[in-house]
Amino acid sequence: MLSKGQTLMAAAAAYASTAANAAPAAGQPDPLMQFLPLIVIFVLFYFMLIRPQMKRAKEQRKMTEGLQKGDEVVTASGQVGKVTKVGEQYVSLEIAEGVVTHVQKATVQTLLPKGTIKTL
């Protein structure tokens, strides 16, 4: 026969093993809740970084496709000049009286308002 102390210890051990077996099933987090922070971060990343960058690239492409003779522009290297000739890949810029340089269309960064070069 078991003594009173041994009975209590056996009951406590049985209760502990039952609670230990039941705990993982009750404490298992929902898989959706595990991925929710990752999904939220991706959505924020898309709306704060990817979408604005795509919008800027679209505006830049539209600006370079619309370049025409007489436009005043700034290139990525900082050259300010007036467009004298537009090709498919290259643009000719007059950066000073009689000085013409040829640059790639992709390097044109900013389209300036007419008359800006005269004020510099």
Our CA angle for 24, 33, 16, nearest 5°, is 15
Q: Which residue bears the tokens 């704060």?
A: 48
Model confidence pLDDT, tens digit, residues 9-49? 665 666 555 544 544 556 788 888 889 999 999 999 999 99
The type of residue at 3 is: S
> Rounded to two decimals, what is the model's pTM?
0.63
Q: Determine the Cα–Cα distance for residues 66 and 86; give it in Å rounded to an integer.
A: 10
Our CA angle for 54, 56, 59, nearest 5°, is 110
